[in-house]
Structure 1
Amino acid sequence: MSWLRARVRVLVGALEHLAGGLGTAALAFGVLLWALVVALASPAGVGLPLAHPALRGLRAVADRERARLTRWGPAVLAPGPVPGGLRAAIQDPFVRRELAWLPLHGLLGFLVGVFGLALPLYAVQDLTFPLWYRFVDPDQGRPSFVLWRVDSLADALWVAVLGLGWLVATVAAVPLLARVQAAPGRRLLSPPPGIDLSLRVAELTATRAAALDAHAVELRRIERSLHDGTQNRLVAVTVLLGAARRARQRDPARADEILGQAQDAAEQALGELRTVVRGILPPVLDDRGLSGALDGLAASCAVPCRVVVDVSVRCAASVEATAYFVVAEALTNVVKHSGASEVTVAVRRERERLVVVVDDDGRGGADEARGSGLTGIRRRVEAFDGRLTLTSPPGGPTRMWVELPCGS
């Protein structure tokens, strides 16, 4: 049963990969047509003003493909903007590699995506044909690739046998087709030799700055929590104890009442201190693991929440804590801003990365610029050299995709 679940998960992931690649291939095909028009019009001087915008469009599509490939495997580092000026842009090694990638992905990637997504459709059509063959014309309503006339249930069952063949082909070929579709991008959109290291250094420098910022924000949060909460409670305890000491001789009953107030204030201070400690590293992660900790978050969420965790080997405590805080902040945003009726949290391990996906059916339109806590989540994630991808079109749904490296 576990083998079957693994195969289904691989197949679904490959279909998603093909669908995403088909989208970027369609964009690449559009840019390819644009580039051909520019090339044909350039000898007359008409296309030259459009050449640099075409290269910027190419860079935008290539960056989308890089982001897609990064979500499904090793990171493909993206360069900066296209250099200004047509001559400098043409001489840029990234642009040259992107120009070589464009026809491959725009044509081959599109065809591979269409064929790969058609396989499961053929399988479903033929497997279910015995259920609906009576409602179609035997001469005109036969499924694709069926060469015989279907007049009886026996003929329709032979179509279902063909559907089993399509199903086997789907399971066997779709993951391979997904890799074929991604191969040109992984080869040609990666940085040229010698440039990869400099890009990586720049990315790590930015990541280190984000980590320092996140650390400073966390220290300010802890300091503010201690100053505004626990410290004030302890000051109140000190004041109440002094008042009880002065009232002990004059009015013992009043002294007992004040001591009771001091005890309540001390208990509140301890509660707030525990809250601060849990905010640093939740003890529930040690006690119940990531799955149990996320179940606790889901149980306390005001919006119905479903949690699916598929992590066979535990990650480092810091990685699990980051995943926990990401989900906690995401659920807080869902409750406050989304108007959703349901939210799903899925956590799984893919090779050396922990993937956290939070989906809700709310109104969408989430924007980091509006200060909804997304900036803090991104800083936490990037501090661990992770990646966050947010998809939230107006009207919904919203998907937050987080990847955290968690070792081998």
Structure 2
Amino acid sequence: MRNALAGWDALDPALRWLMRINLIALTTATLALAAVYLLGFKHTAVEIDLGVMVVSIVIMLVTPPLCRRYGATAAIIGLTFSALLFAVGGTWATPNLTPLTALLAMVPLLVGFPYLGRRWITALSIVAVAGSASVAALGEWRRTEALNDVWWINAIVIAASLPPGVAVVVFLVRGAYTRLQEQSSQLVESRMRIVEVADAARRSIERDLHDGAQQRLLAMSVTIERARKELVAGRQDGAAELLDQLASDNREVVTELRELARGIYPPLLTERGLVAALQSTARRSTVPVTLDIAEFDRPSRQVETAAYFCILEALTNAAKHSGATEVLVTLRGHPHLSFTVSDDGSGFDRRQVAIGGLLGMEARVAAAGGLLTLQSEPGRGTTLHAEFPPASPA
């Protein structure tokens, strides 16, 4: 039997489950009614219902091979013929079943909504309306002629015929409710993800502005102060050189903000990679920077971005807060990406200093799967070190 129904395996799990429930209910009701018939309760109504059930089962058994080629369409068409046959035959034999049989004419439409296109749904809508109306009319016509004076005949036929129809309707409603619950849960989950993604994007933009353009602007403010001092001291050439540097830095900041607004930041990092971006940053730094780069292959974009902005903020902090005269940036690419930023500045006591910027760097490195550590003591400089996991093999 499992091999005979293997064609249903390609169906959606909910539809496959409904088809099997329908077949089991029909088979069980047919066997029960056949047993009653063999026990001596022989009557035309019983014979009609038995015939209708057997043909309905045959129709259901024809659908699995067709489902391999036509999918859900074949299954629902088979279910439609089976339901209509059962509705008409059951109503003819036992008009008392009319409320149920009229409902059965609408089952294929309810089942088909998630799986069929507009044309098929329109056709099934016509079948549901015309079928249920026809069955109701047939039931009223047969009611005066087919009701048996012997109560047990009607009772037996109804008791045997009712379960498969009720089972299909019950499981259909249950399946629809289950799908509704799942969709509701998925909707809630998707909304939560959207909020989380939006918050993460906002935090990312905040970090990018803080670690990128804001740091550049702070560095420019230092340069402006240096230019002012040059002018006060009467060193026009030195002031002019610093103003040229400011003009260049301003153009780069404008470009970086423009690229950041487009979601592509910074342009040099995107186009040429971490090494080129750090070389450019080192040239602009107000504190002399030494780059020590070895065995370097370009990492993933996420790792590259995290490393760049962390190094950029470390350089800015060294220039702004530490009073450092030199910064050493060590970058290694094997066996995995790591970097160290060391300065000879005044250092600080982490217990007495707000470390909001460090938390932002830690979050950025952690998001890329890395680990960030910081060592600093008053009078002994600051060392920032990060390790990123090896790249997954292609």
Q: TM-score, normalised by structure 1?
A: 0.34
Q: Which structure would you say has the larger RCO, counting Cα contacts within 8 Å and 6 or more residues apart?
A: 1
